[in-house]
Chain A
């Protein structure tokens, strides 16, 4: 039995590695890829490979499923555009929806869940009102959560559309306001790039840095392999398209206080996916890189999470990063009380 998620990382980095898999090896790879939400990316990556006939329909299904996810993500973005058009304020798409809206390689085969958008802090309440008018409603009417979100987090409580059953997360910064590091949201808004639809996406450097910030500060590295795959695709595409990219990236990383996070993410991406990184930006290998890699690969061939202890360590760490200690205690207490 495969003990970690290495086969997935290998297949994404070098599709030829799948040629040595036997039946059980393929089944393991598919379970891992599904668990890491990378099955669509993998399916696209293996296009043109000699894949066993038992596996071909599974990959075809994955491509069709992510095609549909792409279409629905674009539709949700368009619904938000229509709802917010009267406000005349910038609506910046984030994460997966941004990748597909800007037709980037990172969007190819990507699974996309909620719609994430970023708006200026001073337009937040108008945005909230316009969305409520257009059929979105609060997911949970819990005042603690509302207060928690409004005071301490980087987004409105999630809204769900009452007919389409799709969620939208409205951010006014990219990370919790209590978290360190604190990227500069205004600078990200100012540099955003307008698409034909009238919606915006972040500038290339900011888009990459937002993905980096996510990896470093959001969650317990769950979804980290996909996050780093995004980073790999973005780095390859942006650095190829623009000779100045690494220089601009350095400037923006300093502006957003994300230099060490960027360096770490680049090292991890290079380790896992052989991402072509500018050595000066990536910096020296650190011992803790090894712990990150161990955590990122903690998934066995059944698709199960493994390395509980390593996961725990990262979970606690990620909460400390996001919330000052007292708030953490309050947050956990509320969770224990309500189950």
Chain B
């Protein structure tokens, strides 16, 4: 097995793979991240052939590790970068307990964090990637980590995962050398990873105070709507992979968040519209 150690935000991963290719790709895309050589890791992710003979013949990558799902379908070898990213996500979703995990993207300005959460297709990932090119610090496009003791948001700035149309949109504003390989025909369509801006990586240990939560919805006339606190609470429990696993700690962290963080539902049809709406809200924050 080949191996690679990666540190993303507060988490240290050990990746082990039968093939060199995914680890080489990861090493190139994560080249600016701190490296640890002391051998410690919070989680191990494994990429292995589904069956021994599938190492060479129509190779397919089975994702597993310290935490795993029994029915995870394998991916073809040319999507092994995606497999590695999925493997790391899975460890966080099932195994991380030091923060309340919210399935949300987050960006920071002046020590304050904007969180965006919603169903897939809401555009939360693309919006965070776009804002990261326009003066915000990118904190993550998949998980926002909420510290239950302090109420602060911690950064988990993994590679940004772009899907389908978002790839071309980001190509217009991000230089080619920050892009990973294009993976066509994945279970989620076309996927291409982007390295976050260097600033996001260098400041990945910096925390931010959650200042605004948005539920974006793409494809509707631009509008901002208030939401009831019970609805916000319930939707956030659904957006958290470890709310139940944290027990009372999770309950206290989430009620504090809902009580204190202003929240809006935001409809938009373009990145510019979203940026305008966000700026209008942000400028009115205390």
Q: Determine whether A and B are in direct contact in the complex, meaning some CB atoms lie less than 8 angstroms apart.
A: yes
Q: Give the docked Cα–Cα distance between A15 and B207 (Å).
A: 36
Q: Return the CB mask of B8-29 against A: 1 if under 8 Å, else 0.
A: 0000101010000000000000
Q: Give the docked Cα–Cα distance between A25 and B98 (Å).
A: 23
Kindly identify, within residues 108 to 167 of chain A, every residue whose CB is under 8 Å from any CB belonging to chain B.
none
Kindly identify, within residues 187 to 229 of chain A, every residue whose CB is under 8 Å from any CB belonging to chain B.
none
Q: Give the docked Cα–Cα distance between A120 and B245 (Å).
A: 34
Q: Give the docked Cα–Cα distance between A26 and B39 (Å).
A: 8
Main secondary structure of the interface of A (DSSP, over half): helix
Q: Return the CB mask of A22-38 against B: 1 if under 8 Å, else 0.
A: 11111100110011000
Q: Which residues of B contact A22 (CB under 8 A)?
A: 39
Given contacts A34-B66, A71-B247, contact A302 B40 (CB under 8 A): no
**Contact of A328 with B by CB under 8 A:** no
Q: Give the docked Cα–Cα distance between A52 and B39 (Å).
A: 12
Question: Residue of B at shortest CB range from A62?
Answer: B97
- Min CB distance B70 to A, Å, is 13
Chain B interface (Cβ < 8 Å from any Cβ of A): 1, 12, 14, 16, 38-42, 44, 46, 48, 65-67, 95, 97-98, 245, 247
Kindly identify, within residues 287 to 313 of chain A, every residue whose CB is under 8 Å from any CB belonging to chain B.
302-304
Given contacts A27-B14, A64-B97, A304-B46, contact A52 B40 (CB under 8 A): yes
Q: Which residues of B contact A52 (CB under 8 A)?
A: 40
Question: Residue of B at shortest CB range from A71?
Answer: B247
Q: Which residues of B contact A68 (CB under 8 A)?
A: 245, 247
Known: A30-B66, A302-B1, A303-B44. 13 other contacts (CB 8 A): A22-B39, A23-B38, A26-B39, A27-B44, A34-B66, A35-B66, A52-B40, A68-B245, A302-B16, A303-B65, A303-B66, A304-B46, A304-B48
**Contact of A255 with B by CB under 8 A:** no
Question: Residue of B at shortest CB range from A21?
Answer: B39
CB-based contact B97/A65 at 8 Å: yes
Interface 9-residue window, one of A40-48, A53-61, A241-249, A262-270: A53-61
Number of A-B contacts (CB under 8 A): 48
- Min CB distance A63 to B, Å, is 10
Q: Which residues of A contact B65 (CB under 8 A)?
A: 303
Given contacts A25-B39, A54-B12, A68-B245, contact A31 B44 (CB under 8 A): yes
Q: Which residues of B contact A302 (CB under 8 A)?
A: 1, 16, 44, 46
Q: Which residues of A contact B16 (CB under 8 A)?
A: 302
**Partner pick for A58 among B1, B42, B48, B67, CB 8 A cutoff:** B42
CB-based contact A34/B67 at 8 Å: yes
**Partner pick for B40 among A34, A54, A303, A304, CB 8 A cutoff:** A54
**Partner pick for B97 among A23, A31, A61, CB 8 A cutoff:** A61
Interchain residue pairs A-B with the least CB separation, the first 10: A23-B39, A24-B39, A54-B40, A23-B38, A61-B97, A23-B40, A34-B66, A31-B44, A27-B41, A68-B247
- Min CB distance B278 to A, Å, is 35
